[in-house]
Structure 1
Amino acid sequence: MSVRRGFQVASIGLIAGLVLSACGEPPAESDNEDKGGDALKACMVLDVGGVDDKSFNEASWAGLQEAKKENSNIDISYVSSSSQTDYEPNLNAEVNKGCEVVISVGGLMADATKKVAGQHPDTHFAEVDAPSSGKNVYGMQFNTAQPAFQAGYLAAAMSKTGKVGTFGGEAIPPVTIFMDGYYEGVQYFNEQNDENVKVIGWNVDKQKGGTFTNSFTDKGKGKSIAQSFLKQDVDMIHPPSGGAGLGAGAAIQESGGDAKMIWYDTDGCVSAKEYCDFMLTSVTKHMTKAVKDYTLKAAKGSPPTGDYVGTLENGGVGLAPFHESEDDVPDDVKSDLEQIEKDIIAGKIELKSPSQPKAG
């Protein structure tokens, strides 16, 4: 099956400017030019996978580092979690060492964050990939179903075999939201172009099924799943599974074939550049900027409250550049992606993913 070409639309800029706006009280950027500012002790509790997971841990920690670059009086530190049983002890330890702001990373930490924050009402908390759970907890969520929809359309358009695949780390909303959008984007491509590209590994209408590594660190499991996909003639793989997803890159690299990977959370050609040659694009959520802006405002004495939801409209999510694949993507497919973005923002395309965070 040859590369498919979609409907024609006028060319516009591919991705809107990456300026975050929030639902609820927004984080504000600092304009300090002297790298100084009010002091703040800001601490982070990472999920399993470590600070160099090429995904949400790494991107979130980068936000604290960026905040410190702008305000050198912000004291930053992090602690890693080896398992889910570490969440609550780690959060309590950060409070006990005098952290004024504690940022937890990952939706799996939501219950522990809610409990510890409730026990320490004078400490400000924020959580990446979970909604606010109290007056002193700021929620940072990202509607990645939107750019994943574009990614699914792109994968279907670029597939030569008519089979694309996706697998996740665990069956939790911050993961399945990627898979939902990807699946829906493929179906939209089929509808618009009278095609029948198949999705292996997920169906948005069957939330209890799907293919998962059940780990965010097991690269070997990710590689094994990707290899099974390749044996089924899948030539586009979207693996939102933390560090386990790196296994897909290894499998594609070893196969010597034409398969491509669509990364997630961060721009894979930056965070996992060893596999850039095999990446078509990445579905990104701009956690670094969200964490940075939250921290800078907290240092000014006004930690944001309520919820932030990153969307295509406010630049909180998007597709990364095509990098090495830039010349491979036909202009009309790029135009289709541009139009899809406009239509999602305008509400002309409605996604049905049940994992989409609610605004406000």
Structure 2
Amino acid sequence: MVKQYMRGLAMVGVVTLAVAACGSKPAEETPAGGAKKDFKACMVSDSGGFDDKSFNQTSYKGLQDAVKELNISEAKAESKSDNDYPTNMTAMVAQKCNIIVSVGFKLEDATDKAAVANPDIKFTIVDSAPAEPIPNVKPLGFNTAESSFQAGYLAAAMSQSGKVGTYGGIKIPPVTIFMDGFAEGVRHYNTTKSKNVQVLGWDDAKQDGLFTGDFEDKAKGQNTAQNLITQGADIIFPVAGPAGLGGLQAAKASNGKVNAIWVDTDGCESAAEYCSVLITSVQKGMDVAVKDAIASAVENKFDNKQFIGTLENGGTGLAPFHEFDSKVPAELKSELDAIKADIISGKIKLQSKAQPKAS
């Protein structure tokens, strides 16, 4: 996998136990009540934070589920900016964690350095993988191009204006993979139905499109979505963490003219206030994958083989339609099921270069 874009930033040595203050939330340790196992599972968020109603929140649920089900303790560090990653990783090493979970592509360098410097600690990272395998690092990848293909087909079929829009937070593979799949799904709909639904905000052939520049600024997300709406898009597909919530705000403010599709988790559960505008969500089973990785370490079954969530193994997929269930025609639901089967069988081959490859 391409190394993270942050290479140029100076990294703090992760073997240092003195933690310099750089604006991140102090690491919090929460022992499980009556923990029977002398085992601590830890997590470092990316800059979106643990309450992003999306990526980090779903991953943290996996840690919480592991703590509850395995009766172990936890510690966590919430990053406020990209500069916090080395410091927060150092803090988790100092907490004497048995396994440290890094949430996101942007933590790749900090994770790699910590893992090499601390071979007795297990690490797992969501949405990234070392350029060369590291014995104590387990990558967790998700081929969301597959489920986003379904989302694109669905959006094209449900659009009344003939235009759908998408935008990202930052142009990195875990973001563009959604946008690629979405564009390919719309194209498949056009080919199958002899239609001409347009995708605004992303050109997968040129790998060029709209990005807010971060995952935190909801106002930027709302403005970007409004730009797409002004151009005629009536279904929005934001791939931007908390900044994507701004897109949902723009859709809700349209009073029924614009709807959306959420990412990473079921938006009707994580952001229920927007359920009325959410047709569905492209889910990533990060909670299950994180919990399983922690369990493997607890049970001394940990390995560094990359996990890739797919439609076939249930690691990714479309969420229920919730309030749109009666609005999505039965024929369209059957077509989505057929598309899923065709992707799994290989009849439909996705082109996105951002798809994770088995190590």
TM-score (norm 1): 0.88
* Larger relative contact order (CA 8 Å, sep ≥ 6): 1
1:314 alignment counterpart: 313
1:9 alignment counterpart: none
For the Cα contact (< 8 Å) 1:37–1:299, is it kept in 2? no
Gaps of 5+ in 2: 1-33
SS in 2 for 1:180: helix
The Cα offsets for residues 103-161 of structure 1, whole Å up to 9 and x where unpaired, read as 10010111111112111111111001112441110000000000000000000000000
Cα offsets for 1:240-262 (capped at 9, x unmatched): 10000000111111121321110
1:184-216 Cα shifts (integer Å, max 9, x gaps): 000000000000000000011111x20001110
Give the partner amino acid of 1:212.
Answer: F
CA contact (8 A) 2:115 2:136 kept: yes
- Structure 1 stretch displaced more, 154-163 or 61-70: 61-70
What's the offset of the Cα at 1:302? 2.5
Contact map agreement 2:215 2:242 (CA 8 A) in 1: yes
How much does 1:162 deviate? 0.2
The answer as to whether partners of 2:135 and 2:303 remain within 8 angstroms in 1 is: no
Partner of 1:135: 135
Partner of 1:240: 239
| SS state at 2:129 partner | coil
CA–CA distance in 1 between the matches of 2:220 and 2:174?
20
Aligned residue in 1 for 2:50: 51
2:289 aligned partner: 290
User: Within 5 Å, which residues of 2 pair with 1:104-119?
Assistant: 104-119=102-117
| Overall identity of the aligned pairs, in % | 51
Partner of residue 101 from structure 2, selected from 88, 100, 103 = 103
Task: Assess if the C-alpha contact under 8 Å between 1:38 and 1:300 holds in 2.
Answer: no
CA offset digits 1:220-275 (Å, max 9, x no partner): 00000111111111001100100000001111111213211100000000001100
> Are the equivalent residues in 2 in contact too, given 1:135–1:306 (CA < 8 A)?
no
The residue aligned with 1:13 is: none
Q: Equivalents in 2 of 1:76, 1:186: separation in Å? A: 43
- Aligned position for 2:228: 229
Separation in 2, partners of 1:97, 1:40? 11
Offset of residue 38 of structure 1: 3.7
Secondary structure in structure 1 of the residue aligned to 2:151: helix
When the two structures are aligned, how many residues end up with a matched partner? 324
Q: Which runs of 4+ in 1 moved over 6 A?
A: none
Provide the residue aligned with 2:15 in structure 1: none
Instruction: Confirm or deny: 8 A CA contact 2:265 2:281 kept in the other structure.
Output: yes
Q: Does the 8 Å CA contact 1:294/1:303 hold for their aligned counterparts?
A: yes
Q: In structure 2, what is the Cα distance between the partners aligned to 1:140 and 1:350?
A: 22
Deviates more, 1:315-324 or 1:117-126: 117-126
Q: Whole-Å Cα distance in 2 between the matches of residues 351 and 111 of structure 1?
A: 29
Q: Which moved further from structure 2: 116-125 or 177-186?
A: 116-125
Where does residue 91 of structure 1 map in the other structure? 89
Aligned pairs for 1:1-360 within 5 A: 38-72=37-71, 74-132=72-130, 133-207=133-207, 209-360=208-359
Contact 1:39 1:299 in 2 (8 A): no
Cα RMSD of the aligned pairs, angstroms, is: 1.2
CA distance in 2, matches of 1:248, 1:109: 26
Q: Shift of residue 36 of structure 1?
A: 7.3
1:37 CA drift (Å):
6.0
SS in 2 for 1:348: coil
Question: Partners in 2 of 1:115 and 1:297 — Cα distance?
Answer: 22
CA distance in 2, matches of 1:337, 1:39: 46
Q: Distance in 1 between matches of 2:283 and 2:65?
A: 18
Q: How far apart, CA to CA, are the structure 1 residues paired with 2:66 and 2:206?
A: 41
Amino acid at match of 1:90: N
Distance, in Å, in 2 between the alignment partners of 1:109 and 1:300 is 26
